[in-house]
Amino acid sequence: MEALAIELVGVGKRFGARTVLAGVDLRVPRGGRLGVIGPATAGKSVLLKIIAGLHHPEAGLVRVAGRIGMLFQNCALFDFLNVADNVAFPLVHEGGVPDHEIAARVTARLRAVGLAGSEHKLPAELSGGMKKRVGLARATVASPDVVLYDEPTAGLDPVTTAKIYQLLCADHDASGGTAVVVSSDVEAVAAFADTIAFVDSGGVRWVGPAAELCDADDDVVRGFARGTP
Ligand SMILES: Nc1ncnc2c1ncn2[C@@H]1O[C@H](COP(=O)(O)OP(=O)(O)O)[C@@H](O)[C@H]1O
Ligand SMILES: [Mg+2]
Protein backbone atom coordinates (compact mmCIF):
# COMPACT_ATOMS: atom_id res chain seq x y z
CA MET A 1 0.00 0.00 0.00
CA GLU A 2 1.13 3.48 -0.86
CA ALA A 3 2.28 5.56 2.13
CA LEU A 4 0.06 8.60 2.58
CA ALA A 5 1.27 12.01 3.73
CA ILE A 6 -2.24 13.45 3.92
CA GLU A 7 -5.60 11.74 4.21
CA LEU A 8 -8.96 13.47 4.57
CA VAL A 9 -12.10 11.37 4.87
CA GLY A 10 -15.58 12.87 4.88
CA VAL A 11 -14.37 16.24 6.16
CA GLY A 12 -17.02 18.87 6.87
CA LYS A 13 -16.58 22.42 8.12
CA ARG A 14 -19.04 25.18 8.80
CA PHE A 15 -18.84 28.67 10.24
CA GLY A 16 -22.05 29.43 12.08
CA ALA A 17 -24.89 28.48 9.76
CA ARG A 18 -22.66 28.52 6.66
CA THR A 19 -21.35 25.16 5.45
CA VAL A 20 -18.00 25.75 3.79
CA LEU A 21 -16.85 22.15 3.23
CA ALA A 22 -18.86 18.94 3.13
CA GLY A 23 -17.82 15.35 2.53
CA VAL A 24 -14.28 16.13 1.43
CA ASP A 25 -12.13 13.09 0.68
CA LEU A 26 -8.52 13.66 -0.33
CA ARG A 27 -5.39 11.53 -0.31
CA VAL A 28 -1.86 12.72 -1.04
CA PRO A 29 0.93 10.14 -1.13
CA ARG A 30 4.30 10.88 0.44
CA GLY A 31 6.32 13.02 -1.93
CA GLY A 32 3.18 13.84 -3.92
CA ARG A 33 2.45 17.27 -5.35
CA LEU A 34 -1.22 18.19 -5.25
CA GLY A 35 -2.54 21.33 -6.92
CA VAL A 36 -5.87 22.67 -5.67
CA ILE A 37 -7.86 24.91 -7.99
CA GLY A 38 -11.39 26.23 -8.10
CA PRO A 39 -13.46 29.40 -7.98
CA ALA A 40 -13.13 32.07 -5.28
CA THR A 41 -14.76 31.26 -1.91
CA ALA A 42 -14.96 27.56 -2.82
CA GLY A 43 -13.23 26.70 0.46
CA LYS A 44 -9.64 26.18 -0.73
CA SER A 45 -7.97 28.21 2.02
CA VAL A 46 -10.18 26.65 4.68
CA LEU A 47 -9.19 23.22 3.33
CA LEU A 48 -5.48 24.05 3.68
CA LYS A 49 -6.00 25.37 7.20
CA ILE A 50 -7.79 22.14 8.13
CA ILE A 51 -4.82 20.15 6.84
CA ALA A 52 -2.53 22.44 8.85
CA GLY A 53 -4.62 21.84 11.99
CA LEU A 54 -5.58 25.52 12.25
CA HIS A 55 -9.28 24.83 11.76
CA HIS A 56 -11.02 21.86 13.30
CA PRO A 57 -13.65 20.15 11.14
CA GLU A 58 -16.99 19.15 12.67
CA ALA A 59 -17.06 15.98 10.62
CA GLY A 60 -14.57 13.52 9.22
CA LEU A 61 -10.98 12.49 9.73
CA VAL A 62 -7.75 14.34 9.00
CA ARG A 63 -4.42 12.57 9.09
CA VAL A 64 -1.10 14.20 8.27
CA ALA A 65 2.19 12.32 8.54
CA GLY A 66 5.02 14.49 9.76
CA ARG A 67 5.69 18.15 10.19
CA ILE A 68 3.92 20.90 8.29
CA GLY A 69 5.09 24.23 6.90
CA MET A 70 2.66 26.76 5.45
CA LEU A 71 2.73 29.80 3.22
CA PHE A 72 -0.42 31.82 3.93
CA GLN A 73 -2.45 33.52 1.21
CA ASN A 74 -1.64 36.97 2.60
CA CYS A 75 1.91 35.85 3.62
CA ALA A 76 1.03 36.58 7.28
CA LEU A 77 4.48 37.95 8.06
CA PHE A 78 5.00 39.45 11.51
CA ASP A 79 5.13 43.18 10.81
CA PHE A 80 7.33 43.89 13.84
CA LEU A 81 10.00 41.32 12.92
CA ASN A 82 12.59 41.80 10.22
CA VAL A 83 13.01 39.34 7.36
CA ALA A 84 15.60 37.18 9.13
CA ASP A 85 13.53 36.95 12.33
CA ASN A 86 10.37 36.12 10.37
CA VAL A 87 12.17 33.26 8.63
CA ALA A 88 13.77 32.11 11.90
CA PHE A 89 10.42 32.00 13.70
CA PRO A 90 9.56 28.29 13.18
CA LEU A 91 13.03 27.26 14.38
CA VAL A 92 12.93 29.57 17.40
CA HIS A 93 9.41 28.39 18.22
CA GLU A 94 10.50 24.75 17.94
CA GLY A 95 13.07 25.34 20.69
CA GLY A 96 16.37 23.57 21.21
CA VAL A 97 17.90 24.63 17.90
CA PRO A 98 21.26 26.36 18.60
CA ASP A 99 21.48 30.03 17.57
CA HIS A 100 24.33 29.44 15.12
CA GLU A 101 22.33 26.73 13.38
CA ILE A 102 19.27 28.97 13.17
CA ALA A 103 21.40 31.73 11.64
CA ALA A 104 22.96 29.33 9.13
CA ARG A 105 19.61 27.90 8.05
CA VAL A 106 18.00 31.32 7.73
CA THR A 107 20.92 32.55 5.61
CA ALA A 108 20.74 29.46 3.39
CA ARG A 109 16.97 29.76 2.90
CA LEU A 110 17.15 33.49 2.14
CA ARG A 111 19.86 32.84 -0.42
CA ALA A 112 17.74 30.08 -1.99
CA VAL A 113 14.78 32.43 -2.44
CA GLY A 114 16.99 35.23 -3.76
CA LEU A 115 16.76 37.49 -0.72
CA ALA A 116 20.34 37.44 0.56
CA GLY A 117 21.09 40.90 1.90
CA SER A 118 17.48 41.67 2.88
CA GLU A 119 17.81 40.19 6.39
CA HIS A 120 17.25 43.48 8.20
CA LYS A 121 14.34 44.82 6.14
CA LEU A 122 10.88 45.00 7.70
CA PRO A 123 7.86 43.53 5.87
CA ALA A 124 6.54 47.05 5.17
CA GLU A 125 9.65 47.71 3.05
CA LEU A 126 9.09 44.68 0.80
CA SER A 127 7.31 44.28 -2.55
CA GLY A 128 4.56 41.67 -2.91
CA GLY A 129 6.94 39.22 -4.59
CA MET A 130 9.54 39.67 -1.85
CA LYS A 131 6.92 39.04 0.84
CA LYS A 132 5.91 35.81 -0.88
CA ARG A 133 9.55 34.74 -0.98
CA VAL A 134 10.01 35.50 2.73
CA GLY A 135 6.85 33.45 3.36
CA LEU A 136 8.31 30.60 1.27
CA ALA A 137 11.58 30.71 3.19
CA ARG A 138 9.70 30.65 6.51
CA ALA A 139 7.41 27.81 5.39
CA THR A 140 10.38 25.59 4.53
CA VAL A 141 13.12 26.60 7.00
CA ALA A 142 12.33 23.83 9.50
CA SER A 143 12.49 21.16 6.75
CA PRO A 144 8.83 20.14 7.05
CA ASP A 145 7.63 16.87 5.53
CA VAL A 146 4.55 18.57 4.11
CA VAL A 147 4.45 22.13 2.76
CA LEU A 148 1.14 23.89 2.16
CA TYR A 149 1.20 26.86 -0.21
CA ASP A 150 -1.85 29.13 -0.37
CA GLU A 151 -1.77 31.24 -3.54
CA PRO A 152 2.04 31.52 -3.73
CA THR A 153 1.83 33.73 -6.84
CA ALA A 154 -1.38 35.73 -6.40
CA GLY A 155 -0.92 39.30 -7.58
CA LEU A 156 2.56 38.68 -8.99
CA ASP A 157 3.70 39.37 -12.55
CA PRO A 158 4.31 36.41 -14.91
CA VAL A 159 8.11 36.53 -14.57
CA THR A 160 7.96 36.53 -10.75
CA THR A 161 5.33 33.78 -10.91
CA ALA A 162 7.65 31.62 -13.03
CA LYS A 163 10.50 32.25 -10.57
CA ILE A 164 8.35 31.23 -7.60
CA TYR A 165 7.38 27.95 -9.29
CA GLN A 166 11.04 27.33 -10.17
CA LEU A 167 11.78 27.69 -6.46
CA LEU A 168 9.01 25.29 -5.50
CA CYS A 169 10.28 22.75 -8.04
CA ALA A 170 13.87 23.08 -6.85
CA ASP A 171 12.82 22.75 -3.20
CA HIS A 172 10.67 19.68 -3.73
CA ASP A 173 13.12 18.03 -6.12
CA ALA A 174 15.76 18.43 -3.40
CA SER A 175 13.62 17.48 -0.38
CA GLY A 176 11.28 14.89 -1.90
CA GLY A 177 8.70 16.40 0.45
CA THR A 178 4.95 16.53 -0.07
CA ALA A 179 3.39 19.73 -1.42
CA VAL A 180 -0.15 21.06 -1.61
CA VAL A 181 -0.48 24.23 -3.68
CA VAL A 182 -3.69 26.24 -3.89
CA SER A 183 -3.38 28.50 -6.90
CA SER A 184 -5.37 30.57 -9.35
CA ASP A 185 -2.50 30.27 -11.86
CA VAL A 186 -3.95 27.09 -13.31
CA GLU A 187 -1.32 26.55 -15.97
CA ALA A 188 1.59 27.08 -13.58
CA VAL A 189 0.19 24.89 -10.82
CA ALA A 190 -0.72 22.13 -13.30
CA ALA A 191 2.89 22.17 -14.53
CA PHE A 192 4.20 21.83 -10.96
CA ALA A 193 1.70 19.32 -9.55
CA ASP A 194 1.31 15.65 -10.41
CA THR A 195 -2.36 15.64 -9.35
CA ILE A 196 -5.04 18.33 -9.43
CA ALA A 197 -8.11 18.61 -7.23
CA PHE A 198 -10.90 20.92 -8.35
CA VAL A 199 -12.81 22.31 -5.37
CA ASP A 200 -16.23 23.78 -5.95
CA SER A 201 -19.06 24.68 -3.55
CA GLY A 202 -17.31 23.08 -0.61
CA GLY A 203 -16.54 19.74 -2.20
CA VAL A 204 -13.89 18.07 -4.32
CA ARG A 205 -15.58 18.00 -7.70
CA TRP A 206 -12.78 16.38 -9.70
CA VAL A 207 -9.40 14.78 -8.96
CA GLY A 208 -7.07 13.57 -11.65
CA PRO A 209 -3.60 13.68 -13.15
CA ALA A 210 -2.46 17.25 -13.82
CA ALA A 211 -1.69 16.27 -17.41
CA GLU A 212 -5.36 15.38 -17.98
CA LEU A 213 -6.85 18.56 -16.50
CA CYS A 214 -7.50 20.31 -19.82
CA ASP A 215 -9.29 17.22 -21.12
CA ALA A 216 -11.24 16.49 -17.92
CA ASP A 217 -14.52 14.65 -18.45
CA ASP A 218 -16.34 17.47 -16.62
CA ASP A 219 -17.44 20.59 -18.53
CA VAL A 220 -17.00 22.92 -15.57
CA VAL A 221 -13.49 21.69 -14.74
CA ARG A 222 -12.40 21.69 -18.39
CA GLY A 223 -13.79 25.19 -18.90
CA PHE A 224 -12.05 26.46 -15.79
CA ALA A 225 -8.75 24.88 -16.84
CA ARG A 226 -8.92 26.26 -20.36
CA GLY A 227 -10.22 29.65 -19.27
CA THR A 228 -13.34 29.27 -21.40
CA PRO A 229 -16.87 29.72 -20.02
N1 LIG B 1 -12.86 32.13 9.86
C2 LIG B 1 -13.96 32.20 9.08
N3 LIG B 1 -15.15 32.52 9.60
C4 LIG B 1 -16.26 32.57 8.84
N5 LIG B 1 -16.28 32.31 7.52
C6 LIG B 1 -15.11 31.99 6.95
C7 LIG B 1 -13.90 31.91 7.68
N8 LIG B 1 -12.90 31.55 6.84
C9 LIG B 1 -13.49 31.41 5.64
N10 LIG B 1 -14.81 31.68 5.69
C11 LIG B 1 -15.75 31.59 4.55
O12 LIG B 1 -15.60 30.32 3.96
C13 LIG B 1 -15.73 30.41 2.55
C14 LIG B 1 -14.51 29.80 1.90
O15 LIG B 1 -13.38 30.63 2.15
P16 LIG B 1 -11.95 30.32 1.58
O17 LIG B 1 -11.54 28.94 1.94
O18 LIG B 1 -11.07 31.44 2.04
O19 LIG B 1 -12.19 30.39 -0.01
P20 LIG B 1 -11.11 30.28 -1.18
O21 LIG B 1 -11.53 29.07 -1.97
O22 LIG B 1 -11.28 31.53 -2.01
O23 LIG B 1 -9.76 30.16 -0.57
C24 LIG B 1 -15.92 31.89 2.23
O25 LIG B 1 -17.29 32.12 2.02
C26 LIG B 1 -15.43 32.58 3.47
O27 LIG B 1 -16.10 33.80 3.65
MG1 LIG C 1 -8.11 31.36 -0.55
The pLDDT value recorded for residue 155 is: 86
pLDDT at 1 (0 to 100): 61
Q: Which ligand is nearest to the CA of 19?
A: 1
Backbone angles phi, psi at 181, to 5 degrees: -120, 115
Convert 90-117 to b/e letters by CB count within 10 Å (16 or more is b). bbeeeeeeeeeebeebbeebbebbebee
Q: Which ligand is nearest to the CA of 199?
A: 1
For residue 39, which atom of ligand 1 is closest to its CA? Answer: 21
pLDDT tens per residue across span 36-72: 999 999 999 999 999 999 999 999 999 999 999 999 9
Position 229 scores a pLDDT of: 75
| Count of alpha carbons within 13 angstroms of residue 6, beta-carbon side | 28
Point out the ligand 1 atom lying closest to the alpha carbon of residue 42: 21
Report whether residue 13 contacts ligand 1, using a CB cutoff of 6 Å.
Answer: no
Give pLDDT, residue 95: 87
Question: Residues 72, 77, 79, CA angle at the centre, nearest 5°?
Answer: 150
- Cα 49 to ligand 2 centroid, rounded to whole Å: 10
Mean pLDDT computed over 72-82: 95
| Pocket lining: 40 vs ligand 1, CB cutoff 6 Å | yes
Give residue-wise pLDDT tens across range 104-157: 999 999 999 999 999 999 999 999 999 999 999 999 999 999 999 999 998 888
- The per-residue DSSP string of the chain comes to -PPEEEEEEEEEEEETTEEEEEEEEEEEETT-EEEEE-STTSSHHHHHHHHTTSS--SEEEEEE-S-EEEE-TT----TTS-HHHHHHHHHHHH----HHHHHHHHHHHHHHTT-TT-TT--GGGS-HHHHHHHHHHHHHTT--SEEEEESTTTT--HHHHHHHHHHHHHHHHHH--EEEEE-S-HHHHHHH-SEEEEEETTEEEEEEEGGGGGG-SSHHHHHHHHT--
Predicted model pTM: 0.95
Residues 206, 199: Cα–Cα separation, whole Å = 7
Pocket flag, ligand 1, residue 42 (CB < 6 Å) = yes
